Structure 1
Amino acid sequence: MKKIILLLFINMSVYAQNSNGTVSGIVKDNKGAALEAAALNVYPANTTVFADSTGHYTISVPEGSYTLSAEYFSYATVTKSITVKAGETLTQNFILIATENNLDEVVITGTMKEMSRSASPVPVEIITPKLFKKNPTPSLFEAVGMINGVMPQLNCNVCNTGDIHINGMEGPYTMILIDGMPIVSALSTVYGLSGIPNSIVERIEVVKGPASSLYGSEAMGGLINVITKSPEKAPVVSADYFMTSWGELNFDAATRTKVGKATSLLGVNYFNYNVKADKNHDNFTDVTQQNRVSIFNKWSFKRKDNRVAALGARYVYEDRWGGEMQWNKHFRGSDSIYGESIYTSRIELIGTYQLPTTEKIFTQYSYNWHNQNSWYGTTPYMATQQVGFAQAYWDKQLTPTHSLLVGAALRYTHYDDNTPATASEDGSVNKPQNTPLPGLFVQDEWTMTNKHKLLAGYRFDYDNNHGAVHSPRVAYKFSPDVQNTLRASFGTGFRVVNLFTEDHAALTGARQVIISESLKPERSYNGNLNYVWKLPAKPFLLNVDATAFYSYFTNKIIGDFDSDPTKIIYSNLNGYAVSRGLATNIELMFNFPLKLMTGASYTDVYRMEDAQRIQQLHAPKWSGNFIASYSLPNNYSMDITGNWYGPMRLPVQPNDYRPEYSPWFCTANIQFTKKFDYGLELYAGFKNIFDFVPKYSLLRPEDPFNQHVNDPVNNPNGYTFDTAYNYASLQGRRMFLGIRYSPM
């Protein structure tokens, strides 16, 4: 009997094997690279296999009809209907196309040369228009807040001037670039990103940590590089218009034109907010009134051997004000009705030209002119800044394993204002700052093996006031396989003295700016450890990106808000400062139409001075973001986005009744989108759906000119009018409605 059963079992096994068919093939991306660990799913057999290191796979399934899908993280899934016959081998090859969240996009910011994101030894984070359209904003200043660890911070409750913090460091430590060209100034995070038409943006690349070895002064805390669209690849026409229930109107449009061998991309952004709102009943506008127009025009020229030639220009004009509800321009600069009024005019030019040589030699140049005409109550701030920049570099593949980059740069800054920043020591003579800053840089990228890569760089700059400045950096990348990548880097950064003091005056409008000594250049030393893990699984694709960072600052320029509430006193730190922490980003893509992205950061930013540990203002220890997108039938979709923040230290006055630390809070948004044919979309939703607004804002709004500070009855604590206590927008819940057209 046992022999009969064994014989039957063998016969059944042979029959089952003979009734099976085989499906095999290779999975590649659209550039021909094999996608190791791509998931191949067979339904309804519920069988999953993974491609090997060469992209090949083999699946054995019973005879029948199936659905075969190929999936890989951040690539569009490809599905095929197949029929498998017994004993036969069916060949099915797949080519997957990267989606907007692809981790292998081409990036340039980390090394100043194009390479895939996964191959870069320097971690680069990317935000694309498809991502920030999930929560439409009138400026890129707000849009970059969707990146974990990047925080657009409003510093003034009246004029709404702000800056961008990277890993808790203030705006002057963040360099803004457009197409790799520095739009350099301490106000670049405000005006460098405000008004750039979203319709001309290809992507935004963010590098956290010092990058002075390539980009020089200002790149101490990080870089934000706005990459604009290539005119040849941009749609002929695109447009986006939305409005909110608070009365905000934003219009964004771009058009492409071809003239001979040149192609033009013209983008326009217009933002208007002219509705006075005072929902906290302090007789001050909750949000500044704004009227802003920005025009951007980029030209690219077709040349022999596809050499690069491009020229771009942007003009920005903004008229904004905040203050008492009865204020109008008649009261500008007067002491009867308080208002903070800012007129801004800004011109930017950027260009790139590749020399007609056999070697890859590029020249780049930029220029910006910035004029500021501001009144903070009765305090004027009038300033003009001009920055010219030019550089040339040689990109040379020395050997199959060594790629060299050598260059020279010159930055020249002219700055003049009506503050102590450009006055003689006794204040009797105006002395505009003229600062030339020449530099040389070199970088070698050594591909030791296909798993190990080492990057070493060095920059030498010379400042007339401070002498030689040396900025080395080194970065190492180890990728044992496509699913795991480890990056380690160390670098230095520096910032020469360049006080564009509108950000100082904007903090209070009532404080006097005092520069107590001859300021020295700031220096920073930074280390980063980054780990990326990709996990393709049957029900989902997972990506984890974790970073630990540590920055040490010397000669840090510190604003003392505490010694005298009527003054801001600037001096070099007699000690050191530290920015350290951990950041984690997690991305999940399911085999049903749901995508999740979330990030969390722990940041400890402080300074040590006279044996005292002082926490950095406006730098929460905990912060994070989240994005959830779900595709619904009939081309509908839903997006939920938001940011959350832990307590951050705020500037308070002696005996202040307001708490020194803000509460935990979250701002969340929801959007519904309907896609039609030919690139037309309708979208609507709510911003700040939890209706969070700060409990406290202005101090003594009834006495903005401090005329009754010494009244012992009505002001026993001697409080002064203060606008600096700010950690979130005063805008509550609001609805938005928009329409966009962007043909593919």
Structure 2
Amino acid sequence: MKIYICLLSLVFAPLSAQVTMSGKITDAGGPVPGANVVIPSLGLSTAANEEGIYTLGSIPAGNHEIVFSSVGYRTARRKISFTSAPLTVNIVLEEEDNSLEELVITGTMKEVSRTESPIPVEIVTSKLFKKNPTATLFEAVGMVNGVQPQLNCSVCNTGDIHINGMEGPYTMILIDGMPIVSALSTVYGLNGIPNSIVDRIEVVKGPASSLYGSEAMGGIINVVTKSPLKAPAISADVFTTSWGDLNMDAAVRLKAGPATGLLGVNYFIFKERHDHNRDNFTDVTLQDRVSIFNKWNFERKDNRMASIAGRYVYEDRWGGEMQWNKSFRGSDVVYGESIYTRRAELIGLYQLPLEEKIYTQYSYNWHDQNSWYGNTPYMATQQVAFVQGYWDKQFGEKHNFLLGAALRYTVYDDNTPGTANPDGTNNASVKRLPGIFIQDEWSITEKHKLLGGYRYDYDDDHGSVHSPRIAYKFSPNSNNTFRASFGTGFRVVNLFTEDHAALTGAREVVIEEELKPERSYNANLNYVLKIPTENFFLGLDITGFYSYFTNKIVGDFDTDPNKIIYDNLRGHAISQGVSLNTDLTFTFPLKILAGVTYMDVYQMEENETGSLERIVQLQAPKWSGNFVASYTLPHDVSIDLTGNFYGPMRLPILPNDFRPGYSPWFCIANLQLTKKFSYGLEFYGGVKNLFNFTPKDPIIRPFDPFDRNVDDPVNNPNGYTFDPSYNYASLQGRRIFLGIRYNLL
């Protein structure tokens, strides 16, 4: 009998050894009430009380993984060995990097909390766009709802960035707050910026001309680079795809006396010719690009700021008939579009050694483009020098004041009618654009904030330009925020530098008359709602927008299939709509970001009878959206599903075109699996364009790119001409990608 009792005690002893675990969950500032404690393998869970204290009992002896989580914090995982003794486990949770308290600078030219900014600012962090790795930031900004990277040519794959349906010329692109990317470089501005040196991307929708001047009438994209003081000592990121493209990013932190630097290098190469739609044209341009970025921060007395950065980009890209090679460049034997780009940039910031906070910023960029579109040359150079100074002053506790002056000097020359005298001789464009700006952010009460701004610019051709704006923010509590703003924008004439549809060699550019500067009037209403619960956090961000444009410069693709006719709009244009962003974080390791935008973008133009006719904006879908779903598995493995969807958009078609005038609904989805290791190494891979969506018939008459046989009434009864501008998505189909990252802190 004693033997049986001993055997039974040996069998059931492990089952009777129930252990209790307790402790306190805190963050850097104190307890984290309501934090969850879960043992997934056992199905046991509990929640911390208001003091962050928890107790979890009935835990069998053995090794178990414990998961500690709370909304707004990084999930912590611990492997713990349980014996018969009670355990005390205290945990310090870290706040999420993409929490709502991020600092932003773009809306007001000052570093402020995102929730305190009277101007709504959307952010894509470097960690967020790594969930779908891309070779350029041009593609990465598509993760912002309402921002559409739009390819404009099926041959050379040039493109621009649309904000709320407005074309690339209405988007100002900044690097570290400086308008370094504009005009000729807009198409290539975000290509070749090494992802390894980017901290975040800030997006402001709607006119910001009162602070940033011309070209900011549709919105701003500010690429904020990493501070050398906070960057990893060494970082690298390399990935390739089954299509044969290879992207390599590397960065290293440097130290020289009182200066700390960051050196970043990007190299992208794609040499494989693909023609999956069998039109004898490359589906994607072949590219060979190198970019070098170097930034230095200097230690100064009283923590005054001083930094300087430079970037150089060289790119050789071509697309065209599959049998094209460089011996055919510029000829009419085999069609190809070949573009050589060289670009150099310099950016600097210096705070004057005074008691007052006075800053000077300066930039210079040189851009050279040597290109052939078939047998049509496009040779252009541009130099832009920019300098501004501003005084940042706090008056009492309620007024945050900004006063500044700026000067932009632009020299642009090309071989198109845009820089030609009436007699046909060349006439390089030289433009000076001085301006002054003033802004006051008035904290009326804790809940009410009012921002007023005004900018005055003087253009050589158009004279005085005034750009006021006003914004109001009301936060009745921490979970509700209302914002309203009104502003005006302007854009001086800068035509050929940004519209590469005019350079395909297939159409003649015609300017009807001397173009006038464009004006816009914009209003936005924004509401942010936070819904925290015990099981999830839901954030809602809804914005209604309305913009009214006068003197809008429009390109007429419809009147003559062989021409693009530019003129000021005889009437007005409107961009209006509403966007909704959602942020859903669960206590278990799932996070979902999703957004949808409805917009109506059109122009009202006088027709032959003198009445206004409604014309829908090209390549501006009424419906669009994006989504990111991330789930973290045990052992530092994560799954990310990302994507964009677009509704029908109007496309440029030829008379009697057999192709539909509107694109279909489509979705570009991507799936990624990532494995992280504790020593800074991670592997990732997945599938891009899961549904294998590609446009149909993007090029009309690809077999006759030089229009030699267009007058054949038998074989071409509709008089079609070669045209590659029917584009709304990339021709890259489904592909597998694999990559590796390394960060040494």
TM-score (normalised: structure 2): 0.90
- CA distance, structure 2, for counterparts of residue 682 and residue 226 of structure 1: 26
1:409 equivalent among 381, 391, 406: 406
Q: Which of 452, 459, 466 is equivalent to 2:455?
A: 459
Partner of 2:283: 286
Relative distance call for 1:237 and 1:80 in structure 2 (3 A) is closer
Deviation at 1:497, TM superposition (A): 1.0
- Tell me, what secondary structure is at the counterpart of 2:687? strand
For residue 713 of structure 1, what is the aligned residue in structure 2? 714
**Aligned residues of 1:175 and 1:188 also touching (Cα < 8 A):** no
Q: Does 1:383 align with 2:380?
A: yes
Is 1:304 equivalent to 2:301 in the alignment?
yes
Q: What amino acid is the match of 2:316?
A: D
Tell me: CA distance 1:95–1:571, structure 2 relative to 1, closer, same or farther (3 Å): farther
Distance 1:311 1:345, change over 3 A: same
Q: Is the 8 A contact 1:185 1:500 kept in 2?
A: no
The answer to whether the 8 Å contact 1:158/1:340 transfers is yes
The question of whether the paired residues in 1 share the 8 Å contact of 2:71 and 2:586 is answered with no
Work out whether residues 680 and 739 of structure 1, in 8 Å CA contact, stay in contact via their aligned partners in 2: yes
> Within the alignment, does 1:265 sit opposite 2:266 as a pair?
no
Q: Which residue of 2 aligns with 1:654?
A: 655
Contact 2:294 2:310 in 1 (8 A): yes
CA-CA distance at 1:504 after TM superposition: 3.3
Specify which of 570, 577, 602 is matched with residue 581 of structure 1: 577
Tell me, what secondary structure is at the counterpart of 1:214? Answer: helix
**Paired residue secondary structure (1:293):** strand
- Give 2:519's aligned residue: 523
Cα displacement string for residues 366-403 of structure 1 (whole angstroms, at most 9, x for unaligned residues): 11111111111111111111111000000000110111
Conserved 8 A contact 1:184-1:218: no
Cα 1:446–1:698 change in 2 (3 A) is same
Matches within 5 A, 1:212-227: 212-227=209-224
Cross-structure match for 1:372: 369
* Structure 1 residues 434-445: aligned runs within 5 Å: 434-445=430-441
Q: Which residue pairs with 2:12 in the alignment?
A: none
The Cα of 1:661 is off from its aligned counterpart by 0.1
- Corresponding residue of 1:14: none
Instruction: Give yes or no for contact 2:374–2:504 (8 Å, CA) kept in 1.
Output: no
Tell me, in whole angstroms, the C-alpha distance in 2 between the residues paired with 1:307 and 1:242.
39
Change (3 A) 1:263 1:41: closer
Question: Which of 329, 349, 352 is 2:349 aligned to?
Answer: 352
Q: CA separation in 2, counterparts of 1:451 and 1:96?
A: 30
Deviation, structure 1 residue 65: 9.3
Counterparts of 1:472 and 1:576, CA distance in 2: 20
Q: Work out the CA distance in 1 between the residues paired with 2:47 and 2:288.
A: 59
Question: Residues 540, 479 of structure 1: CA spacing in aligned structure 2 closer, same or farther, 3 A cutoff?
Answer: same
Count of aligned pairs between the two proteins: 701
Q: What residue is the counterpart of 1:664 in the other structure?
A: 665
The offset of 1:68, in angstroms, is 12
Corresponding residue number in structure 1 for 2:74 = 76
Structure 1 gaps of 5+ residues are: 1-22, 50-56, 82-91
For residues 64 and 692 of structure 1, do their structure 2 counterparts lie closer, same or farther at Cα, with a shift above 3 Å needed? closer
2-structure distance, mates of 1:63, 1:199: 42
| In 2, Cα distance between equivalents of 1:401 and 1:521 | 37
| Partner Cα separation in structure 1 for residue 100 and residue 338 of structure 2 | 43
Q: Residue by residue, what CA displacement relative to the aligned partner does 1:283-317 show, whole Å, maximum 9, x if unpaired? A: 11000000000000001111111111000000011
User: Distance in 1 between the 2:138 and 2:54 partners?
Assistant: 53
1:508 Cα deviation after fit? 3.3
- Give CA deviations for 1:400-455 in whole Å, capped at 9, x if unaligned: 0111000000001111111111112x242211111100000000001111111111
1:20 aligned residue: none
Residue aligned with 1:668, SS: strand
CA contact (8 A) 2:447 2:475 kept: yes
**1:328-358 Cα deviation digits (max 9, x unpaired):** 0110110110000101011110000000000
2:432 maps to 1:431: no
Shift in alpha-carbon separation, 1:237–1:447, aligned structure 2, 3 A: same
1:475 to 471, 477, 490: 471
Match of 1:183, SS state, is: strand
Q: SS at 1:603's partner residue? A: strand
Q: For residue 552 of structure 2, what is the aligned residue in structure 1?
A: 556
Aligned partner of residue 587 in structure 1, secondary structure? strand
2-side partners of 1:552 and 1:648: how far apart?
A: 21
CA contact (8 A) 2:233 2:743 kept: no
Deviation at 1:64, TM superposition (A): 7.3
RMSD: 2.5
Rounded Cα–Cα distance in structure 1 between residues aligned with 2:648 and 2:423: 40
Cα distance in 2 between the residues matched to 1:633 and 1:78:
11
Deviation at 1:535, TM superposition (A): 1.1
Query: Cα gap change, 1:79/1:688 in structure 2, threshold over 3 Å: closer, same or farther?
Result: closer
Checking the alignment, whether the CA contact within 8 Å between 2:393 and 2:401 is kept in structure 1 is yes
Separation of aligned partners in 2, 1:94 and 1:564 = 70
Take 1:360 and 1:274, find their aligned partners in 2: how far apart are those partners? 51
Deviations 1:664-690 (A, max 9, x none): 000111011111121101111110011
Contact map agreement 2:158 2:500 (CA 8 A) in 1: no
Amino acid of the residue matched to residue 567 of structure 2? S
Superposed counterparts of 1:40-439, under 5 Å: 40=35, 57=50, 73-76=71-74, 97-424=94-421, 426-439=422-435
Amino acid at match of 1:716: P
Change (3 A) 1:61 1:716: closer
- Partners of 1:324 and 1:339 within 8 A in 2: yes
Summarize deviations over 1:80-129 as a string: whole Å, max 9, x none: 99xxxxxxxxxx99976431221110100000001100000000011011
2 CA distance for matches of 1:439 and 1:376? 38
Shift of residue 546, structure 1, vs aligned partner? 0.7
Task: Please tell me the residue identity of whatever aligns with 2:197.
Answer: I
Deviation at 1:501, TM superposition (A): 3.2
Separation of aligned partners in 2, 1:63 and 1:632 = 22
Over residues 442-479 of structure 1, what are the superposed CA-to-partner deviations in whole Å (9 max), with x where a residue is unaligned?
A: 00001111111111000000111111100011111111
Amino acid at match of 1:693: T
Deviations 1:12-52 (A, max 9, x none): xxxxxxxxxxx99997x74x5999xx645588785687xxx
Counterparts of 1:69 and 1:476, CA distance in 2: 42
Which residues of structure 2 form unaligned runs of 5+? 1-21, 39-43, 60-64, 80-88, 607-611
Would the aligned equivalents of 1:507 and 1:723 in 2 still touch at CA under 8 Å? Answer: no
Match in the other structure for 1:731? 732
**Residue 432 of structure 2 aligns to which amino acid in structure 1?**
P
What is the alpha-carbon distance in structure 2 between the residues aligned to residue 713 and residue 536 of structure 1? 69
TM (norm. structure 1) is: 0.90
SS in 2 for 1:660: coil
| Distance (whole Å) between structure 2 residues aligned to residue 63 and residue 675 of structure 1 | 29
1-structure distance, mates of 2:53, 2:235:
48
Code of the residue aligned with 2:739 in structure 1: it is: G
Q: Distance in 1 between matches of 2:289 and 2:77?
A: 47
Alpha-carbon separation, structure 1, partners of 2:36 and 2:425: 76
Q: Find the partner of 1:571 among 567, 573, 577.
A: 567
Letter in 2 for 1:553: F
- Paired position in structure 2 for 1:685: 686
Shift of residue 74, structure 1, vs aligned partner: 3.1
Report SS of the residue matched to 1:678: coil
> How many angstroms does 1:186 deviate by?
2.5
Equivalent residue for 2:592? 596
Note closer, same or farther for the CA distance 1:131–1:503 as it changes in structure 2 (3 Å cut). same
Q: Which residue does 2:617 correspond to in 1?
A: 616
What secondary structure is seen at the aligned counterpart in 1 of 2:707? Answer: coil
**Is the Cα contact below 8 Å between 2:201 and 2:223 reproduced in 1?**
yes
Q: Distance in 1 between matches of 2:391 and 2:497?
A: 37
Paired residue for 2:699? 698
Could you tell me how far apart the structure 1 residues matched to 2:295 and 2:712 are?
Answer: 58
**SS of equivalent residue, structure 2 residue 183:** coil
Looking at structure 2, the residues matched to 216 and 134 of structure 1 have their Cα atoms a distance apart, in angstroms, of 34
Q: Provide the C-alpha distance between the structure 2 equivalents of 1:648 and 1:438, rounded to a whole number of angstroms.
A: 38
2:487 partner letter: G
Note closer, same or farther for the CA distance 1:48–1:24 as it changes in structure 2 (3 Å cut): closer
